[in-house]
Amino acid sequence: MTKIVYLICGLFFIFAGCQQQTGTDESDREDWIQLFNGKDLDGWTPKVRGLPLGDNYLNTFRVQNGVLQANYSDYKNFDDRFAHLFYRDSFSYYHLIAEYRTVGDSVIPGAPGWAYRNNGLMLHAQPPESMGIDQDFPISLEMQLLSGNGRDDRPTANLCTPGTHVHLADTLFTNHCIQSSSRTYHGDVWVTVEAIVLGDSIVHHIVEGDTVFTYTKPVMGEGVVNGYDLNYLVEGKPVKSGYITIQGESHPTEFRKIALLNLCGCTDMKAKNYKSYYVKSDNSKCIYE
Asked if residue 164 lies in contact with residue 190, where contact means CB atoms within 8 angstroms, the answer is: no
What's the pLDDT score for residue 64? 97
Percent of the chain with pLDDT over 90: 89
Which CATH code of 3.30.1280.10, 2.60.120.560, 3.40.50.300, 3.50.70.10 fits the domain covering 32-285? 2.60.120.560
Asked if residue 177 lies in contact with residue 158, where contact means CB atoms within 8 angstroms, the answer is: yes
What is the average pLDDT across 241-248?
Answer: 98
CA 98 to chain centre: 9
CA 263 to chain centre: 15
Task: Look at residue 2 and tell me whether its pLDDT is greater than 80.
Answer: no
Asked if residue 162 lies in contact with residue 137, where contact means CB atoms within 8 angstroms, the answer is: yes
* Ranges of each domain in the chain: 32-285
**pLDDT tens digit string along 11-46?**
443 443 343 344 458 899 999 999 999 999 999 999
When the pLDDT of each residue in the chain is averaged and rounded to a whole number, the result is 92
User: What confidence category does residue 236 fall into, taking pLDDT thresholds of 50, 70 and 90?
Assistant: very high
What is the average pLDDT across 143-153?
Answer: 96
User: What confidence category does residue 289 fall into, taking pLDDT thresholds of 50, 70 and 90?
Assistant: confident
Task: Look at residue 164 and tell me whether its pLDDT is greater than 50.
Answer: yes
Most confident of the ranges 1-10, 14-23, 104-113: 104-113
What's the pLDDT score for residue 106? 86
What's the pLDDT score for residue 13? 36
3-state secondary structure the chain: CCHHHHHHHHHHCCCCCCCCCCCCCHHHCCCEEECCCCCCCCCEEEEECCCCCCCCHHHCEEEECCEEEECCCCCCCCCCCCEEEEEEEEECEEEEEEEEEECCCCCCCCCCHHHCCEEEEEEEECCHHHCCCCCCCCCCEEEEEECECCCCCCECCEEECCCEEEEECCEEECCCEECCCCCECECCCCEEEEEEEECCCEEEEEECCEEEEEEEEEEECCCCCCCCCCCCCCCCCECCCEEEEEEECCCCEEEEEEEEEECEECCCCCCCCCCCCCCEECHHHCCCC
CA 205 to chain centre: 10
Q: What is the CB neighbour count within 10 angstroms for residue 206?
A: 24
What's the pLDDT score for residue 20? 39
What's the pLDDT score for residue 18? 40
Phi, psi torsion values for 137, nearest 5 degrees: -135, 145
What's the pLDDT score for residue 187? 95
User: What confidence category does residue 227 fall into, taking pLDDT thresholds of 50, 70 and 90?
Assistant: very high
User: What confidence category does residue 242 fall into, taking pLDDT thresholds of 50, 70 and 90?
Assistant: very high
**pLDDT tens digit string along 248-288?**
999 999 999 999 999 999 999 999 999 999 999 999 999 99
Task: Look at residue 115 and tell me whether its pLDDT is greater than 70.
Answer: yes
What's the pLDDT score for residue 181? 98
What is the average pLDDT across 156-179?
Answer: 95
